[in-house]
Structure 1
Amino acid sequence: MNIRIEESTYGILIRALCKIGSVSQALELSKYMVEEGFSADQKICSLMLAAMCNHMDDNNGEVLGFLEDLKLLGFEPRMVDYFNLIRVLVNKGKGVDALGVLKQMKLNGLTPDIMCYNLILSGLIFERDFSRADKVFDELLLLGLIPDIHTYNLYINCSCMQNKIDDGIKMLGSMEELGCAPRLSTYVTILKALCEAGELDRVREVMNRMRKKGVNLDSESYEIMIHGFINNCDIYEACSLLNETLDDDYFLHPTSLDRIICRLCKMGLSFDAIAFVNEVGFKAYRSCNTRHQ
């Protein structure tokens, strides 16, 4: 028809293809657009990369290769583009590839922020690549980035997964000195690791530390602690914690009570088990009535 398609028309078509998830076709149209003498629109390229990240399973494509194709068109990724790319790679369990994207960012003169580093750390820790995770943490400190609560939680989790619980506990003190108060999730990571290591005295120390800081356990963390004490045969501490939850009107899963009763019976403490059932049963009934009122 001898009609030359305008640049704006290409933009409309490419956006429409991205919207319906046909990102590979959007890329082919972008290549044809460049061949026709138009320059690659940075916003449209960014849109295609974001669409590729969002429809990665539908397209069965390799997102890193897609980025390289966009670069050949003249695309210069921005911080948000790299962040989306890192996010999708981490979610797909490709932490090492995400680390490669982080390095590419720096080569292109962009300084990753703490959110990018948190994503990388979570990906590497999930893959149990602890040596790289430690280096990434050191690197963000050298760059002068200020860790946030998520960074500290990731570091403590990484330490505990490596059975370096002392390093995690030391980090608690460092956090407080730097003005970042540990949250319940921070303490629970350490408490769980101590329970798994059978260090119940230290569990009590950390719990006392929490109370002094005004950090109280919730239902989920109470469950973790109760099962931790049961597994380490400290049944009376588990009973004490369960009583504490009922006093504070928390709801616990019935399996916690069942496990305590079974353990008492196996230890030949049937009378203690009956007394415990009577005491807990009354508190649970009272707690239930209070909630209904």
Structure 2
Amino acid sequence: MQTRFSLSVLALGVATLLAACGGGGSSAGGTGQLSLQVTDAPVDEATSVVVQFTGVELKPAGANAINIDYPTPRTIDLLALQDGDAELLLNGQTVLAGRYEWVRLKVVTSQSTLDSYLEKPVSGVPTKLPLYVPSGSQTGLKLVRGFTVPVNGSASFTIDFDLRKSVVDPSGAFSGYYLKPALRLVDNAQVGGITGTVALSGLCPASASPLVPNGPSVYVFAGAGVTPDDIDASGAEPVTTASVKETSVGSGVYTYKAAFLSPGAYTVALTCVGATDQPESSEALNFQGTRNVTVSANLNNQQDFTTPPPP
């Protein structure tokens, strides 16, 4: 995968906002505590991916959506949040208990301004390019996946925002990038991770120096024994991806970390050239074999890529 970004918004007190906005909850009645955070995964060559947020919208089952608008817009550099890092959107806030149908992050994007932008070197010069969500003014960054806040209890979730699947070059449509988010919701009480070392100089000698623009990455697929494929909306699609990074400059030690995974069986595969994978086209990525991993909750499960896979 490419550079992985954790997307997150600052902690927000919403109890009074919810009351002011109206909008009933579900039939459960009462209140509960909700924590919501955002994390993410990558895009090669970018030095920052900044998104401006103006608020959050929650949709209780059987009731009108609740709009929570920030007093002032908040800008977040997604690239500053990687390798399992996340920031809070809601932090133990009192909300109406019951079932929620979806959550939407309100964003400000434009093809002509830099409210949200991607920064990367262009001819060696750091350059900011507009980041635009084609449907952002209507639907924002919307995750249609239900969750429940228990009465007199608490619930904590992470929205995994995979920029590796989401940042799209519009091929001349305008001088910037489209942001077409791929989101998934995970229960923080039931998540684990996969981490390991990579013998990059032996497995990917051409990618070890430099890491960029080659983008060596580990792709994570749901289920054991999956035949890996690139990101192209067909065939096997990764749940997430993780960039291979040097632990410190010149150390020669390379690692990866895929976080916020639900417990279960996964297939992981290393590619030396993740940077060539484009989300809206098919590329013939060469994977360095596969490994099967079982993820357990609250653990970082170890899977190294230290030797070539068996033929």
TM over 0.5: no
Answer 1 or 2: which has greater strand percent.
Answer: 2
Q: Which has the higher contact order (CA 8 A, sep 6+)?
A: 2
Answer 1 or 2: which has greater helix percent.
Answer: 1
Which one has the largest radius of gyration? 1
Taking structure 1 as the reference length, the TM-score comes to 0.21
Taking structure 2 as the reference length, the TM-score comes to 0.20
